[in-house]
A and B are shown apart, each in its own frame.
Chain A
Amino acid sequence: MRNKRQVIIAQTISTLVVVIFLVPVLYTILSSFKGMAELFSTAPTFFPRQWTLANYIHVLSTGRYGRYILNSLIVATTSTIIAIVINTMSGYALAKFKFKGSTVIMIVILSTIMLPLEIFMAPIFKIITFFGMYDSLWAIIIPPAATPTGIFLMRQYLLTIPDDIICSARIDGASEWQIFTRIILPNAKPAIATLAIFSFMWRWNDYIWPLIAIYSPEKYTLQLAIANLTGEFGTDYTSALAISVFSMIPMLIIFIIFQKQFVQGTVESGMKG
């Protein structure tokens, strides 16, 4: 009896909480279809009185946003591919080889989590400039591709692959690189999928690296461009809302398709870009 009441209460609270999590996003999406007059109306309504694509047309016709979206796509995709290769390589070394200093390397990798890049933005800027990477997309593609959590995730997964497969490949005369590309990569697919989705999300949503490394407007990423729409003199909502929706759409699609991987990834490694 008490148990049944408990379930009903839990069900009610869960539904109410849904409102808190959903309404802000819904309202933003709906507002992006409102005309200028309605956006600054003194009596705003939840749904647009008159649906219009004016904000989207405005955003797309200025052209620059197409460029920003493209830049974000290039950065997120390239960085994710690099992240998969190098983090799987490291994970493989740490999972399947016994060598001097492996524990030390593991500790060093994990302790880099304790050095937040947000705190050392100025030295990072100096280093990027030193390597001639300033104002280049490579500066926001390569450095963030190496993530301690990615290595950790891959290592944990690769530990479950039996040593016998690797040994028999060696006996058959496969080179170490062949073992990696023909055996390790295909067998690590589930973990790679998780890493790929997270990496794409981190890079798509990233603000700090572009903020440090990008100067020219034609190299802006979407997040950098959105951030520039706000300022001391208020926010340009006509563009900001529509472009924010653009920024959320790829994530929404990925999220709907790969929900399981997200939950799994969060659980397995406490993933943090």
Chain B
Amino acid sequence: MTTKVQTYRNYRFKQKVIPYIFLTPNLIIFSVFIILPAIIGILYSFTDRTLFTFGSANFIGLENYVNVFKDEFFIKALKNTIGLVAVTVPLMFVIALALATLLKQPIKLVGFYRSVYYWPVMISAIVVGIIWQWILAGNYSLFNTTLDSIHKLLSSLGVVSGDFESSPTLSDARFAWVSVVFAIIWSRSGYYMIIFLAALLSIPETLYEAAEMDGANPLQKFLFVTFPCLKAARVMVLILVTMEIFKIYPLVVTFTGGGPFRATEFTVQYIYEMAFRHYQVGFASAMSVVMLIIVTTFSGLIFFTSKRGENQ
């Protein structure tokens, strides 16, 4: 009798301990490589630590934070990044949703289209940068020579006159910036398309039939049936894209290198260079904390505005 009770107690004890044991490897890695860096980063931001300070560094209060907002290059990188978020997030949202809507139509070869649109997602950001630099950079790029031949064709038809002036290249600040937006959307829209497509396919067909009986046109069907049903997917895509654009870096490394004249330099690149090229870890950490606050605020805003909409 006692052995049975003991076995049962033993079992109960095991059931309590075992889940923690199974969680241990992951929790250790998370604590050491995700949570601890954030905490250390916050602590560093109040010191004059460099990359090669291994003992204790001097506490300098808010000096780094004051300097961060005096640093014109950081302000420029921050403006670039927020501008990029403001432009790319809505564009990505609309294009991904448009692609998903397109593939929901009863067309042939849907599987093929879906694969082709998704395929750039598999290419590393580094290679995406190489690909687009190869197509866009220089006066004799594919892009430029294609524009040239289109111009020749049009002028032979008498539509335009005069010689073709080379299109702007990546050494033009505005063109480089727009190209970055384009490359991001090219490489990532397939991913968000899939999220939307799954949500679209899960909307019951009966809702559309009911709307049709009430005499709704396609636009009304989209606005009053499709869009409200996509709620969860919409919030998810918005948060994921926003996070992704805020931490954009590898693509820029091989595409524009941040140039010309810092026109496409975004905050992660600037933080990296401040820490690893100028060794100013304390100063860089203050920028990291500023970034963390901004990123959290943005995703929090998206999350809570969507929550509020729910209650109405």
Contacts and interface: CB of A to CB of B under 8 A. Distances in A.
A116 B123 contact: no
Given A118-B268, A244-B127, A270-B240, A43 B140 contact: yes
B168 interface: no
Q: Is the interface of A mostly helix, strand, loop or mixed?
A: helix
Contact of A241 (B27, B134, B284, B299): B134
A44 interface: yes
A122 B288 contact: yes
A38 to B, nearest CB: 11
B14 A176 contact: yes
A18 B115 CA distance: 10
Given A24-B186, A89-B23, A207 B33 contact: no
Given A240-B130, A267-B198, A120 B115 contact: no
Given A99-B19, A270-B236, A120 B133 contact: no
Given A11-B107, A86-B25, A251 B117 contact: no
A259 interface: yes
A25 B246 CA distance: 26
B308 interface: no
Contact of B29 (A99, A108, A146): A146
B117 A17 contact: yes
Interface string A79-98: 00000011101101110010
A138 interface: no
Nearest to B198: A267
B257 A230 contact: yes
A261 to B, nearest CB: 12
Nearest to B106: A7
Interface stretch (B59-67, B72-80, B188-196): B188-196
Contacts of A176: 14, 18
Interface stretch (A48-56, A186-194, A231-239): A231-239
A226 interface: yes
B312 interface: no
Contacts of B126: 205, 207, 223, 226-227, 247
Contact of B33 (A90, A127, A223): A127
A22 B116 contact: yes
A120 B37 contact: yes
A92 B114 contact: no
Contacts of B30: 108-109, 112, 146, 148
B108 A11 contact: yes
A204 interface: yes
Interface in B32-83: 32-38, 40-41, 44, 51
B145 A231 contact: no
B124 interface: yes
B246 to A, nearest CB: 7
A24 B32 CA distance: 40
Nearest to A121: B272
A146 B15 CA distance: 24
Interface string B214-235: 0000000000000000000000
A267 B253 contact: no
B153 to A, nearest CB: 16
Interface stretch (B86-94, B156-164, B289-297): B289-297
A113 B32 CA distance: 15
Contact of A205 (B105, B117, B125): B125
B26 A146 contact: yes
A39 to B, nearest CB: 9
Interface string A1-30: 000001100110110011011101101100
Contacts of B35: 108, 112, 115
A181 interface: no
A255 B37 contact: no
Interface string A200-237: 01001111100100000000000100110111100101
Given A227-B254, A235-B130, A14 B113 contact: yes
B264 interface: no
A41 B138 CA distance: 11
B299 A114 contact: yes
Contacts of A270: 195, 236, 240
Identify the interface centre among B23, B115, B142, B236: most chain A CB within 10 Å of its CB: B23
B119 A25 contact: yes
Given A90-B22, A99-B20, A123-B285, A118 B247 contact: yes
B9 to A, nearest CB: 15
Given A109-B26, A122-B271, A176-B18, 11 more contacts: A7-B106, A44-B141, A90-B27, A121-B275, A127-B33, A131-B32, A146-B33, A201-B122, A207-B126, A227-B253, A266-B191
13 contacts: A14-B113, A22-B116, A28-B135, A122-B44, A122-B51, A123-B40, A143-B29, A146-B29, A180-B22, A230-B129, A240-B134, A266-B191, A267-B194
The 9 nearest A-B residue pairs measured at CB: A205-B124, A97-B19, A146-B29, A93-B19, A122-B275, A93-B22, A123-B37, A10-B105, A118-B247
Interface of B: 14-16, 18-20, 22-23, 25-27, 29-30, 32-38, 40-41, 44, 51, 99, 102-103, 105-109, 111, 113-120, 122-127, 129-135, 137, 140-142, 145, 186, 190-191, 194-195, 198, 236, 240, 243-244, 246-247, 249-250, 253-254, 257, 268, 271-272, 275-276, 281, 284-285, 288, 291-292, 295-296, 299
